[in-house]
Amino acid sequence: MGGGASTLVDDLAAEGYTDLTVLDLSSAALAVAKQRLGKHADAVHWMEGDITLVELPAHRFDIWHDRAVFHFLTDPADHHAYVERIMHAVRPGGHVIIATFAEDGPEKCSGLPVMRYQPETLRAELGDAFLLVEHEKAAHHTPLGAVQQFVYCRYSKR
């Protein structure tokens, strides 16, 4: 979710994972990833769309992965729309991995306001259907030399 041009999809394909979907708002970012993957791009399902509006298939995904997307949603209506899509698209027993800015992370990114989370405050956003399985803090070093504190959380969906 919001995979953009990131290389996670390359790594998952190289590890032998199949049935991969990458969704992003930016067609330009998806084009970069597709071009990089070359012929392997045909095995990936690419979706251009806004996660707060997109229609997703029901109970289709085993794992939902979002790094650095949810924290850009600051409007409660967008949170609601995002969680609605997880509820609809992730199968019962599936897993949701979300990495956001941590409580000591930046208050803005690329000039945009962002939210900061702890594993439990993020779980509260997701709702009672989710159980926190594990979490880990990580420091992200930006190309400009700044350090941004992230928290990676994995939840299971009942």
Ligand X SMILES: C[S@@+](CC[C@H](N)C(=O)[O-])C[C@H]1O[C@@H](n2cnc3c(N)ncnc32)[C@H](O)[C@@H]1O
Q: Which is nearer to ligand X, 67 or 157 (CB)?
A: 67
50 binds ligand X (CB under 6 A): yes
**Phi and psi at residue 48, to the nearest 5°:** -100, 120
Pattern 83-102, ligand X, x by CB under 6 A: --------------------
Q: Which is nearer to ligand X, 47 or 129 (CB)?
A: 47
Q: Which is nearer to ligand X, 4 or 94 (CB)?
A: 4
4 binds ligand X (CB under 6 A): yes
**What is the DSSP secondary-structure string of 4-44?**
TT-THHHHHHHTT--SEEEEES-HHHHHHHHHHHGGGGGGE
114 binds ligand X (CB under 6 A): no
> Which residue in the set 10, 12, 13, 72 belongs to the binding site for ligand X (CB under 6 A)?
72
Among the listed ranges 67-75, 116-124, 126-134, 144-152, the one in contact with ligand X (CB under 6 A) is 67-75
Strands (E), 2-157: 20-24, 44-48, 61-67, 90-101, 108-109, 112-113, 130-141, 147-157
> Which residue in the set 56, 69, 89, 102 belongs to the binding site for ligand X (CB under 6 A)?
69
Contacts of residue 145, defined as CB under 8 A and 6 or more positions apart, other chains included, come to: none
Name the token pair of 98: 């979300």
51 binds ligand X (CB under 6 A): yes
Among the listed ranges 9-17, 63-71, 83-91, 115-123, the one in contact with ligand X (CB under 6 A) is 63-71
DSSP conformation class of 72: G
Is 137 within 8 Å of 105 (Cβ atoms)?
Answer: no
Rounded distance, CA 142 to CA 150, Å? 12
- Residues binding ligand X (CB under 6 A): 2-4, 6, 24-26, 29, 50-52, 67-69, 72
